[in-house]
Amino acid sequence: MPRFSVNISTMFTEYDFLDRFKVAKKHGFSAVEIQFPYEFPLTKVLAAKESAGVEITLINIGAGDLTTGGPGIAAHPGREEQFKVSVEEAYKYADSLKSTSVNVLAGTPSLEKFERRQCLDVLASNLYHAAEAFEKIGTKVLTEAVNTIDRPGFLLNSTAAAVEIIERAGHKNLAIQYDVYHMQIMEGNLVNTIRDNLDQIGHIQFADTPGRHEPGTGEINFPNLFDAIDKMGWKGWLGAEYVPSKRTEKTLGWMPELVT
């Protein structure tokens, strides 16, 4: 059975952030991921992680104004220095927390203002810069495709586009993050797509659709999906990154080794 991690930015939000590490461990998760940990002092995040005895599988590199409705910085011409500053900040957190990977969100650069090729060139260059930096501490750099229903204009919105950009960047420390929720919306064919691109995938996240809630609330057959991924020989983590439809503890029935 695959190993499951939990995103404590979207789950266990009933608890204060620094308490979520222990709560996650109590409920059977030996690893957690965090979207953007930077509002919390690194010393406190590290203490919470070590006290709970969990691993960190993923953090996002700071995305600039993407989180407040802007286009972000990773693929935006003219914002390369902002991206480098975000890499420096993420490096400190990833190094101390021993994060397995960091994720770069391409964002939604204006294709009316810039040519798509121009934005992809910037993204490829930024990914190479990040991959080179994080290679020193053994942390994989990822980028993901995101659906254009939730994020209109997102630059990378298919598995093929995500694979193409890491190949374009051309660094061995790059991989894609495959998000089951986003890709079910955009293209479906989950099992075959994961199998066909397994060598390029560095991390997998999941939520059901519609709604982005826990497995069993939507259209995806998660027992079959998890079993298929396991039979592919996947050795990485499967990250639960959903918005619980009720208290998080009440939404974990999909997890075979649930501890209560």
Q: Summarize pLDDT for 178-187 with one digit per residue, the tens.
A: 999 999 999 9
The number of residues in the chain equals 260
For residue range 118-159, list pLDDT tens digits in order: 999 999 999 999 999 999 999 999 999 999 999 999 999 999
Residue 257, in any domain of the structure: no
Residue 235, in any domain of the structure: yes
Confidence of residue 11 (pLDDT cuts 50, 70, 90): very high
Q: How far apart are CA 28 and CA 259, in angstroms?
A: 5
Number of structural domains in the chain: 1
For residue range 26-35, list pLDDT tens digits in order: 999 999 999 9
Residue 258, in any domain of the structure: no
**Mean pLDDT computed over 250-254:** 95
Predicted local distance difference test score (pLDDT) of residue 259: 34
Predicted local distance difference test score (pLDDT) of residue 255: 87
Is pLDDT at 192 greater than 60 in this prediction?
yes
225 close to 180: Cβ distance less than 8 angstroms: yes
Confidence of residue 258 (pLDDT cuts 50, 70, 90): very low
2 close to 238: Cβ distance less than 8 angstroms: yes
Residue 176, in any domain of the structure: yes
Residue 196, in any domain of the structure: yes
Q: What is the CATH number of the domain that holds 164?
A: 3.20.20.150
- Active-site positions read 144, 241
Predicted local distance difference test score (pLDDT) of residue 155: 98
Query: Does an H or E element contain 226, and which?
Result: helix 222-231
**Mean pLDDT computed over 219-227:** 96
The range of the structural domain enclosing residue 94 comes to: 3-251
**Mean pLDDT computed over 199-215:** 98
252 close to 19: Cβ distance less than 8 angstroms: no
Confidence of residue 173 (pLDDT cuts 50, 70, 90): very high
For residue range 82-110, list pLDDT tens digits in order: 999 999 999 999 999 999 999 999 999 99
Q: How far apart are CA 217 and CA 209, in angstroms?
A: 7
The overall average pLDDT reported for the chain is 97
Confidence of residue 75 (pLDDT cuts 50, 70, 90): very high
For residue range 37-69, list pLDDT tens digits in order: 999 999 999 999 999 999 999 999 999 999 999
Residue 256, in any domain of the structure: no
Residue 230, in any domain of the structure: yes
Number of other CB atoms surrounding residue 69 within 10 Å = 7
